[in-house]
């Protein structure tokens, strides 16, 4: 987490959830995160292909120069990137993961800015993780932000975070013996020909579509 907005939201979400997999939607108080509220959004998980904006902060909407409430977040991507984000969001809803995506947000003039997007599960209604709270955090916002809309946002990196432990389907013998409070992660980087292994990546690698998955992650 490189941006103070993502760190702030993650710390708040962690405080709310305690030892649970996710906090309840009604526990989120806008006043508690007023400093980053304009960068924050809440999604409703309708199905595996539809994640509708229930709320979208003013700075987030300004980046696209339009209101996002009621729109499907997956429509912000196309092709394999859309498929990758759909798989990521399914892991959040079904497995209680958290996630961070790095994108290159581009306008119609091909000007670009790096953005960090975070997704965190919320429980709602019947106790399922059918809401997602997240944030859109540009690094060094350029002058054109809010003037020229983001038109494309290719994925640069994805990272799944398991706040308590690596889920059973990803664990190896060594990982299974580690303490539950250790933060486990899956680092996913866009495959590049001849690209070096990302710093801090450990364990084995696997291919998923056009992405390379690095098992392991940060340990506190």
3-state secondary structure of 80: helix
Give the H or E element holding residue 63: helix 58-64
Alpha carbon distances (Å) from 54 to 67, 69, 133, 211: 11, 6, 10, 29
3-state per-residue secondary structure call for 137-162? EECCCCCCCCCCCCCECCEEEEEEEE
For 119, the enclosing helix (H) or strand (E) is strand 112-124
The domain spans of the chain are 4-163
Domain 4-163 belongs to what architecture? 2-Layer Sandwich (3.30)
pLDDT (tens digit, 9 = 90+) per residue, 103-141? 999 999 999 999 999 999 999 988 789 999 999 999 989
SS3 state at 112: strand
Structural contact between residues 42 and 132, judged by C-beta atoms closer than 8 angstroms? yes
Model confidence at 89: pLDDT above 60: yes
Taking all residues of the chain, what is their mean pLDDT, rounded to a whole number? Answer: 81
pTM score, whole prediction = 0.77
- pLDDT of 172 > 60? The answer is no
134, 119 in Cβ contact below 8 A?
yes
pLDDT greater than 60 at residue 147: yes
Cα 146 from Cα 81, distance rounded (Å):
24
């Amino acid at each position: 987490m490189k941006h103070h907005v993502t760190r702030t939201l993650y710390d708040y979400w962690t405080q709310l959830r305690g030892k649970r997999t996710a906090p309840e939607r009604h526990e989120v108080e806008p006043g508690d995160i007023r400093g980053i509220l304009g960068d924050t959004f809440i999604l409703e998980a309708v199905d595996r292909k539809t994640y509708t904006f229930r709320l979208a902060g003013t700075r987030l909407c300004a980046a696209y120069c339009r209101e996002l409430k009621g729109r499907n977040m997956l429509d912000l991507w196309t092709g394999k990137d859309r498929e990758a984000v759909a798989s990521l969001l399914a892991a959040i809803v079904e497995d209680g993961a958290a996630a961070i995506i790095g994108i290159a947000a581009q306008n119609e003039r091909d000007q670009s800015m790096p953005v960090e997007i975070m997704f965190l599960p919320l429980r709602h209604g019947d106790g399922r993780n059918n809401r997602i709270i997240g944030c859109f955090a540009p690094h060094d916002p350029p002058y054109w932000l809010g003037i020229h809309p983001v038109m494309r946002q290719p994925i640069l990196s994805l990272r799944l975070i398991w706040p308590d432990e690596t889920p059973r389907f990803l664990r190896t013998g060594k990982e299974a013996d580690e303490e539950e409070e250790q933060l486990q992660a899956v680092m996913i980087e866009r495959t590049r020909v001849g690209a070096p292994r990302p710093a801090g990546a450990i364990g084995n690698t696997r291919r998923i579509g056009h992405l390379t998955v690095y098992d392991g992650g940060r340990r506190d």
